[in-house]
Structure 1
Amino acid sequence: MKYYAHSLEGKPQETWQPLDEHLANVAKLAAKFAEGFDSEDWAHNAAWLHDLGKADSAFQGYLMRENELDDSDYDSGRINHSSAGAAFAKENLGNCAGLVLAYLTAGHHAGLPDWFSSDSGNAALSVRLVEGGINLAKIKQYVEFVSEKLLPCTTPAKFVKSENLHFWMRILYSCLVDADFLDTESFMDSKQSGYRAKFAKLSEVKTKFDLYMDSFANSAEKTQVNSIRQKILFACRSAANNPAGLFSLTVPTGGGKTLSSVAFALDHAEKHGKSRIIYVIPYTSIIEQTAKTLGDIFGTENIVEHHSNLDADKETQQTQLASENWDAPIIVTTNVQFFESLYAAKSSRCRKLHNLVNSVVILDEAQLLPPGLLDPCVKAINELATNYGITLVLATATQPALPKLLKTHEIIPQEYKLYEHLKRTNIEFPENLHTPSSWNDIAEKMKQHEQVLCIVNTRKDCHDLHALMPEDTIHLSALMCGEHRSKLIAEIKASLKEDKPIRVVSTQLVEAGVDIDFPVVYRALAGLDSIAQAAGRCNREGKNKLLGKVHVFVPPKSAPPGLLRKGVDKTMELASLPDFVPDNPETFTRYFRLFYNSVNDTGGKTLHEQLVKDVNPYIHLQFRSYAMEFKLIDDQAQRPVIVRYSKSEELIKQVQIIGPTRENMRKLQRYTVNLSVWKIDKMKSDGLIEETRDGILIQTMPNLYSDKIGFDIYKETLPVEDLIQ
């Protein structure tokens, strides 16, 4: 009897994809994906088992019915094709190999499962294995055929231990699900499949980069800053010859870190045969700038952006497909997408992971890793560098002393003394850090300057200070949607370039990586890293003959409790010392050690409880439960609200009439503002926000969104969650 994996609508059976053909194709592709971490046999076996249950007459009958063919020779029971292979593995391949393959096989559609049913009910592997055993009994003949295809593998790759088994399994799972997706797509939609992998080779984009950098160096002004940037570039290119591993790139803001780190990555990739470059950025507010810079060099057709703030109109079918599995030479993404994928359970999130293997990853602004998840983030960095052939570069002006991070190779030689030679600002602290300034005082000081930036700690502070400033002052905060912020940042850059008067009041979203250059910056007292980043927006190009002025002040209200307050406290502790120099690299190291020691929970305990504790000897893992907990942004405390700004009105009408689609929701991501659940409930009861039956939140009254301040939520007292950034 012939079994089929996939059918074609309206086509005769002889055109359908035979099951054995699909399994063989997936096995070949998955094994190829797993070569980079010595796990080909495991991927091969997982692939042969993943659709074993499709040989069940219930599934074959389903294909017949879906194509309106006679199914009288088949069962019409419930269809579950993923549990049979899991049950076979558990019953026949031993506790270790059997259970590893059972997790992968059972989860190839629904996601990597938990073992225990306490959190996931019938979706737990322990429950599904029982059902799989029943299904298995119905397909004995096909089981015999598949079992002959399996390769002997009893122990994982040599580097796999109890503490990193979950990590290896997740990347192995990535090989399986991507191979399954690609082979299915190739059969079901060959036209779409043809759009994939049409990018230039990494060697070709490197040629473009080298030509650009030569032209840039020849045309750049002969300034001291540009001379130092050339030295930094030279150091990066020299360090690229070193063996793969962990690197740090510590360069003061404005030192050309972005392009120099990419130069290192391209040269290193050429030297060591790396597959791709992945540029990871902490905030969506700055990712557009980096993506545009790289797009101008490499061509936008060779850059894949993968983040929530992407303008859907800029996507091509090719880049959209490549964002699914990161099969492109240059990827630009966010911390959220990168780290949450590394601990994900869903097939769509994990699918890309095998393409991290043998790549170069640049972690920009590494000091912004979330303190509450620092332990699993550092473990992931160590794991990728040690066992998967990945070179990682931690690039920042304020290099953090990350606890338990393996030894890094610093790219910049000490003798460069960058922080002396690139000193373009003087950071002035108040004499008394316990005496606050009023917003009126700060406003009056700002009014004395034609070009000035003030960065504050909360959205409420931004709102209050802006209200005291002249009418043409720009307000910038996360109460503005991504489309609005992008427009304002472009306006700010244009005014500065034309040397026009401009005053800006902003939250910390401008601090990391936004290339703006003010002669004077005011910064509310915060963590020392934030103060240093604020200083990077002052006299950035070093064109002022005198040092730029960065004035730190104590705001009227203390920072909200939590990490922001801890940062303030540790800055005050260091500032009280007689040898305090705020822009010295050694001071940053001391600050981060103090700060991280003050964080009560860095996420290690939950990781151990869910994914390590019950590995030996049981291999009981809670993949799904941990993935739901590992969130860089707490989506339980906040939810996105679609606001009425610019082109969002037409998109909102589409959602209200025809419902959400992938296309309109992708476009609407640029028109969202995150608010606390508490505030949303209040605004819903007041009729200011509506929730559709699909759970989408939409601003109702157009006048609630202002071109000046964004979403106007400051008409009553708000909780802390609504105040930060």
Structure 2
Amino acid sequence: MSQKEYFAHYNGCRQLLAEHLNNVAMAMQSAVPPSLHFPALSHETVREIGFWMGYLHDLGKYTDFFQDYLLKKISSPHKQHAHISSFYLHGRLLHVLPGPDGDRRRCAAAFLAYVAVRRHHLPLSLSGLFPDYEEEPFRGLLKALWEHLEIKKGEVLEDSGLIERLTPEFFKQIGDPDTRWRDKRNFLFMPQHLAQRLKDVQWYFFLLYIFSLLIDKDKLDSAGVETREISFIPHHLVPAYLSKKRLGNARLRSIREEARLSMLGRISALHDNEIRKIRFMTITAPTGLGKTLAALECALLLRERIERAEKYTPRIISAIPYINIIEQTRQVYEQVLAGGTKQAGRLVIHHSLADISRNDGDKNEEVPLEQILLEVESWEGDVILTTFVQLFHSLLTGNNRMLKKVHKLAGSIVILDEVQSLPDRYQPLIGAILRKMGEFYGTRFILMTATQPKILEFGDLLLQENGRGGGEPLELLQDHKRYFSQNRRTKLISLLKEKLDTETFAFLIAGCRKPGQSVLVVVNTIRRSVELFRALKERFKKEPDNPKILYLSTNIMPMRRKQVIEEARVLLRQKNPVIMVSTQTIEAGVDLDFDLGFRDLAPLESLIQAAGRVNREGEKGEYLPVYVVSVKDDAQRVYAFHHINRTRAMLEKKEEILENEYGRLVEEYYDQVFRDGVSEESRHIWEEGVMKLNFEVLQDFKLIDNTGEVVDVFVEVPTSVDPASLASRLADAYEEALADRECWDWKKFDGLIDESIPGETKERPDFFQRKAILRVLRSKINDYVIQVRKYHAAKNNPVDFCARGGVKSNLLWIPPGQLEDYYDSETGFKDKSGRAFMF
């Protein structure tokens, strides 16, 4: 036995290197689901690759240079460990992987595993791997590390346990850097070969998978977080929840129940062999039919069928387009999972504004906050609730942190809610991504919407240009057209012949509305929404029925948005008249029910989504009007010109379109979109980024436009508005955590952070604890944060947050004493640019 102890980590959690290597190797090997398969690599081959990646990824930490750095803080260029470790892995895999010597697919797989280990502390990229391989300092450093490990190889082999798997001579051979430099065809020039002669989409998905698997298992083990088995969750929890809640009127409950049973019957009728083969299911249903709960129950039932057919338990990942509607879905999921004798499974909530949220119902278990943070970011749960941004930006990036969760998608069931909200320009790209995830990862998808776009057909169109194709998805609600034809709740009325300004639009609303009616008005820009809100307040202030005028957009703080929605919900239930002026933020998932609607011109799916907030439960009569108008040129500021023209042409064919015609209209709309072919944005990212493994090209993918042009503005609500002074207390604590002084003032954190933070001991938090504290505080501060385009902030520029207490942050700040200069209590940030801007 070796007398010297070698450590993988020494700060915080001290861990022996041999233990870490073995843990990661076993975790990676066991995590590969049976559904995973690549044309060039079987499931068992990927398991073998995973094992050796885990065992060798930190082998370079056996050098005295690294151990001196870890234990004695002696730094030198020789302390680096990833590159030399990747050499040993590459050499080992060339002997382990099946196939003859010189097999290019075998060499490609070994090389990509080398890349994953070499870059496992960095962004994933194949660019610039060997810019100076001929220069002596670069080659000399790696040669010196190999020679050092060669001298002490007996000790390394014995301590690591590799002595049972590798001979000393073989160990010397596989780590020799000179072997790599001589192999130009299968090593030095492999990045170019993968982008040209060996170009194949499977390599992108293989690299993403093994990189994600490695960095996730490495980080979890380093933090002492154990991977848990996925829990069984019975699908009958959904009907149990419905029976308690009794949502909607009796007629609507009956229709929902009929549809729910129809969908479940469709899954139950599938043979095990069909369960193994089917990758895509769709739920095409009108708004108000209870798709959220139906999809969850279908996923739970499908999960049970997969357990029986394939002998593994998938996790369920539910992705939603908008952050502003995720909270109500979270509440529904939590209540469903809490319906058993105890909490059924772990629900993880993950999006950019989320608190660290992992609910498994075990109140007696004290879990450190930093561990929960890792589990949330790694999607260590049975049911994951996240956003489209988190999902798709994780699949089209080289970002290390974002990629950490990608491997959890393999073998999972993914629910995509409101898929029509994906930008048209990216539908071919995302459709192709979904197709290949289904093929390679064995991921199942449930796509649900009232306006089913041709996203998979678009994906096939892009793939067919590369000789690919795809099968038809299984529609779970087989007679969905009947449900659409039965609906008589609303109708679209086109008033597009005349362009309106704010005053004429307000006049039109007043003329169409009858006393006592509640009205929803949706416009395209914040500027217009503010002007219209003020015009309607003035026009209706003397009306006998005294309607409440409410305003909703992302220009107001999230906490205020929640208040407005709840206020509207209460007033509507009490039959008190409400006029709500909103931007697109209300169109998906906001469960409000108005008598009358107005929508500024937008793509067809947006019009139908807005109509879904009128006569939602069908109790107000038949065919309530939703007027489609054209307010100046606002639509063209927000939407692509050809989408607007396409919608306009369809609306102008008839004076009114009844709800039972919406389904046919949507099919016609997407047929026209499909005929336009694959967008240049999708083709460029797919062909130049995905196919050629060029992760720099993937930076062009932006699901939300101009995210780089947005600034976060923290509104410190004064005590006159917020008696609890929560905003100020959060800001004080946030500054304290950002400053990270030697001694923290823990009184500032009272009641704001989890008790597992070491406040009682007055210790200074370690790196992971501080990161967790900042995450919790920032998630709570986000209730007071508005996102403003830089241009508009520049015209009325808030103060830099560091002016508050000298602590740097990426926030801008509206001081409590200057609230009126920057922020209106009803309409939010005061834009002085004179230009309209998007929600």
SS of the equivalent of 1:659 reads helix
Q: Which amino acid aligns with 2:430?
A: C
1:251 aligns with 2:299: no
SS of the equivalent of 1:429 reads strand
Q: How far is 1:371 from its partner?
A: 2.9
Question: CA 1:716/1:578 → structure 2, altered by over 3 Å: closer, same or farther?
Answer: closer
Q: How far is 1:681 from its partner?
A: 4.0
Corresponding pairs, count = 680
Question: CA 1:523/1:9 → structure 2, altered by over 3 Å: closer, same or farther?
Answer: closer
1:570 to 631, 646, 661: 646
Q: How far is 1:457 from its partner?
A: 0.9
**2: CA distance between counterparts of 1:181 and 1:43?**
15
Equivalent position of 1:427 in the other structure? 492
Matches within 5 A, 1:304-315: 304-311=348-355
Q: How far is 1:97 from its partner?
A: 3.3
**2: CA distance between counterparts of 1:96 and 1:213?**
52
Q: Which amino acid aligns with 1:50?
A: H
2:58 to 51, 75, 87: 51
Q: How far is 1:88 from its partner?
A: 3.2
**2: CA distance between counterparts of 1:122 and 1:690?**
42
Q: Which amino acid aligns with 1:281?
A: I
**2: CA distance between counterparts of 1:420 and 1:484?**
38
Q: How far is 1:259 from its partner?
A: 1.0
Q: How far is 1:284 from its partner?
A: 0.6
1:622 to 680, 694, 712: 694
**2: CA distance between counterparts of 1:367 and 1:138?**
58
Equivalent position of 1:183 in the other structure? 221
Q: Which amino acid aligns with 1:468?
A: A
SS of the equivalent of 1:636 reads helix
SS of the equivalent of 1:529 reads helix
In the alignment, structure 1 segments of 5+ residues that lack a partner are: 187-192, 614-620
1:649 aligns with 2:763: no
Deviations 1:327-354 (A, max 9, x none): 2121111000111112233332222222
2:424 to 348, 355, 371: 371
Question: CA 1:409/1:362 → structure 2, altered by over 3 Å: closer, same or farther?
Answer: same
Compare 362-371 and 637-646 and name the one that shifted more: 637-646
SS of the equivalent of 1:697 reads strand
Compare 343-352 and 452-461 and name the one that shifted more: 343-352
1:588 aligns with 2:666: yes
Compare 577-586 and 163-172 and name the one that shifted more: 577-586
Equivalent position of 1:106 in the other structure? 118
Equivalent position of 1:474 in the other structure? 550
**2: CA distance between counterparts of 1:31 and 1:601?**
39
The percent of aligned pairs where both chains have the same amino acid is 25
Q: Which amino acid aligns with 1:630?
A: F
**1: CA distance between counterparts of 2:316 and 2:520?**
34
Equivalent position of 1:292 in the other structure? 331
Q: How far is 1:711 from its partner?
A: 1.4
1:341 aligns with 2:341: no
Matches within 5 A, 1:381-396: 381-396=434-449
Compare 588-597 and 482-491 and name the one that shifted more: 588-597
SS of the equivalent of 1:240 reads helix
Equivalent position of 1:212 in the other structure? 241
Question: CA 1:377/1:10 → structure 2, altered by over 3 Å: closer, same or farther?
Answer: closer
Deviations 1:501-532 (A, max 9, x none): 21100001111111111011111111111111
**1: CA distance between counterparts of 2:405 and 2:448?**
23
Equivalent position of 1:189 in the other structure? none
Deviations 1:466-488 (A, max 9, x none): 11012641111111232221221
Q: How far is 1:147 from its partner?
A: 9.1
**Please, what TM-score do these two structures have when normalized by structure 1?**
0.85
Q: How far is 1:58 from its partner?
A: 0.7
**2: CA distance between counterparts of 1:130 and 1:580?**
77
Question: CA 1:132/1:229 → structure 2, altered by over 3 Å: closer, same or farther?
Answer: farther
**1: CA distance between counterparts of 2:209 and 2:609?**
35
Equivalent position of 1:495 in the other structure? 571
Deviations 1:569-626 (A, max 9, x none): 110122344699574323212223434628853322133213323xxxxxxx333x24
Compare 27-36 and 628-637 and name the one that shifted more: 628-637
Q: How far is 1:458 from its partner?
A: 1.0
SS of the equivalent of 2:265 reads helix
1:351 aligns with 2:404: yes
Equivalent position of 2:810 in the other structure? 695
Deviations 1:92-139 (A, max 9, x none): 655423311111101222232332379xx999xxx9888545533321
1:413 to 466, 473, 478: 478
Question: CA 1:133/1:589 → structure 2, altered by over 3 Å: closer, same or farther?
Answer: farther
Compare 529-538 and 36-45 and name the one that shifted more: 36-45
**2: CA distance between counterparts of 1:129 and 1:269?**
51
Q: Which amino acid aligns with 2:488?
A: K
- Please tell me the root mean square deviation across aligned C-alpha atoms, in Å: 3.4
Compare 48-57 and 398-407 and name the one that shifted more: 398-407
**2: CA distance between counterparts of 1:278 and 1:10?**
32
**1: CA distance between counterparts of 2:617 and 2:400?**
45
Q: How far is 1:452 from its partner?
A: 0.7
Q: Which amino acid aligns with 2:348?
A: V
Q: How far is 1:209 from its partner?
A: 2.5
Deviations 1:299-354 (A, max 9, x none): 38842111123246998847544312212121111000111112233332222222
Compare 582-591 and 420-429 and name the one that shifted more: 582-591
Compare 160-169 and 550-559 and name the one that shifted more: 160-169
Question: CA 1:285/1:132 → structure 2, altered by over 3 Å: closer, same or farther?
Answer: farther
Compare 171-180 and 506-515 and name the one that shifted more: 171-180
Compare 45-54 and 478-487 and name the one that shifted more: 478-487
**2: CA distance between counterparts of 1:147 and 1:639?**
55
Equivalent position of 1:268 in the other structure? 302
Q: Which amino acid aligns with 1:88?
A: Y
Rg larger in structure:
2
Given that 1:373 and 1:604 are in contact with CA atoms closer than 8 Å, whether structure 2 keeps it comes out as no
Given that 1:358 and 1:388 are in contact with CA atoms closer than 8 Å, whether structure 2 keeps it comes out as yes
Q: Which amino acid aligns with 2:124?
A: L
**Please, what TM-score do these two structures have when normalized by structure 2?**
0.74
1:29 to 23, 27, 30: 27
Equivalent position of 2:521 in the other structure? 454
Question: CA 1:10/1:627 → structure 2, altered by over 3 Å: closer, same or farther?
Answer: closer
Q: How far is 1:77 from its partner?
A: 4.7
Matches within 5 A, 1:48-197: 48-66=55-73, 77-90=77-90, 93=93, 95-116=107-128, 132=142, 134-140=144-150, 141-142=152-153, 145=157, 146=162, 149=165, 162-186=200-224, 193=225, 197=228
Q: Which amino acid aligns with 2:241?
A: Y
1:397 aligns with 2:450: yes
Given that 1:116 and 1:622 are in contact with CA atoms closer than 8 Å, whether structure 2 keeps it comes out as no
SS of the equivalent of 2:381 reads coil
Q: How far is 1:400 from its partner?
A: 0.7
Given that 2:348 and 2:358 are in contact with CA atoms closer than 8 Å, whether structure 1 keeps it comes out as no
**1: CA distance between counterparts of 2:266 and 2:568?**
36
**2: CA distance between counterparts of 1:234 and 1:313?**
32
Question: CA 1:561/1:600 → structure 2, altered by over 3 Å: closer, same or farther?
Answer: farther
**1: CA distance between counterparts of 2:11 and 2:635?**
61
SS of the equivalent of 1:698 reads strand
1:238 aligns with 2:282: no
SS of the equivalent of 2:459 reads coil
**2: CA distance between counterparts of 1:505 and 1:221?**
27
**2: CA distance between counterparts of 1:458 and 1:362?**
30
Deviations 1:542-575 (A, max 9, x none): 1113332211111133423463433321101223
Given that 1:535 and 1:550 are in contact with CA atoms closer than 8 Å, whether structure 2 keeps it comes out as yes
